[in-house]
Amino acid sequence: MDIEIKVPATVANLGPGFDCLGAAVGMYLRLRVSLSESAAVTGVGRTRPPEENLTHRAVRTAFEEVGSEAPPITVEQVEVYPSARGLGASASAIVAGLVAARETADLGLSDADLARLAIRIEGHADNVLPAFFGGLVLSSPHGWMRFQPTEKVSPLILLAAQKFQTEKARAVLPAELPREDAVANASASAALVAVLTGVESSEALFWATEDRVHEPYRLPLMSETFEVHQAMRAKGIPTALAGAGPSLICLVDSERIGEAEAAARKTIPDGWEVFMPGWDTEGAKVR
């Protein structure tokens, strides 16, 4: 058995969709998985030992779910994208492991079964679901809905130079919010889904990416991110934290993506990078 797995990066929240909205973008984790005499992790990028590797953990979890023991495998990292930048690297690694487990043996687990396992392992549905299914995903305690992103809107990723841990970003969030902030976010989230699915015009993107639930508390922790975020929005470009940060995502009219890219390159500090990855609409794929 020798399989290749490709899983997209994901951006959670997208501004106001805190812990419920996420989208897959065209940056990828690619792994080659094979049966071996002993568990191993090889390839490009940072490699953790098997007992700490999320892909190995996901494989073991899938087999445990059906009462079996996972065979030893070698995970070769063929292509990786930066972790701890707000692009769902943990989610992609977990989804890759679950898909690999199902390809290795007939576990009798459906896509929905694997998605629920991924949520249980990772803890954040807004990252793992778009990694698994692709596209734009709205999640809730009652399930999830997948939408096809419109080609009229494009993502622009401003990749931060430094890592930032999600735990720190989550620790500063308040336990309670003013009612007007909650209402504003509900309104913006609904508008954002309408725009990203092509129901409404991209003209609404600026206010539809405004957040009052997590960004006001998280951005001050990341000085460079805060400055870039403020500068891009001052230029009228819809900009939001990518996940918990420190990277940013701009959601722009596709006809103006070049203008947004040029503005971003003039704004970002040294060490930051700009990507125009497009949407991923396929999710996790096996070859």
**pLDDT tens digits for range 187-216:** 999 999 999 999 999 999 999 999 999 999
- What is the spatial distance between Cα 59 and Cα 66, in angstroms, rounded to a whole number? 12
Mean pLDDT, residues 248-276: 97
Q: How many CA atoms lie within 13 A of 186 on its CB side?
A: 7
Is the entire prediction scored with pTM above 0.85?
A: yes
Report pLDDT digits (tens) over 119-130.
999 988 999 999
Per-residue pLDDT band for 45 (boundaries 50, 70, 90) equals confident
pLDDT tens for each residue of 151-191: 999 999 999 999 888 888 889 999 999 999 999 999 999 99
Answer for the pair 156, 249: CB distance below 8 angstroms, yes or no: yes
Q: Which residue has the higher pLDDT, 110 or 167?
A: 110
Average pLDDT over every residue of 27-36: 95
Letter string b/e over residues 28-48, b meaning 16 or more CB atoms within 10 A of that residue's CB: bbbbbbeeeeebbbeeeeebe
Domains and CATH numbers, the chain: 2-146+280-286 (3.30.230.10), 153-275 (3.30.70.890)
pLDDT > 90: what percent of the chain?
88
Paired residues of 138 in beta bridges: 21, 145
Helices and strands (H and E) in the chain: how many: 10, 11
**CA distance linking residue 145 with residue 129, whole number of Å:** 10
Q: Residue 1 — pLDDT band, cuts 50, 70, 90? A: low
Per-residue b or e along 191-220, where b marks 16 or more CB atoms closer than 10 Å to that residue's CB = bbbebbeeebebeebeebbbbbbbbeebbe
Tokens standing for residue 172: 């500063």
Q: What is the mean pLDDT of the chain?
A: 95
Average pLDDT over residues 32-41: 92
Q: Concatenated DSSP letters for 26-80?
A: EEEEEEEEEE-SS-EEEESS----TTT-HHHHHHHHHHHHTT--PPPEEEEEEE-
Which pLDDT belongs to residue 106?
83
Average pLDDT value for residue range 96-119: 93
Separation of alpha carbons 42 and 50, rounded Å: 10
Band of pLDDT at residue 105, cut at 50, 70 and 90: confident
Residues 214-234: tens digit of each pLDDT: 999 999 999 999 999 999 999
Instruction: Characterize 225-260 residue by residue with b for buried, 16 or more Cβ atoms within 10 angstroms of its Cβ, and e for exposed.
Output: bbebbebbbeeebbbbbbbbbbbbbbbbbeeebeeb
% pLDDT > 70, the chain = 100
Decide if pLDDT at 108 tops 70.
yes
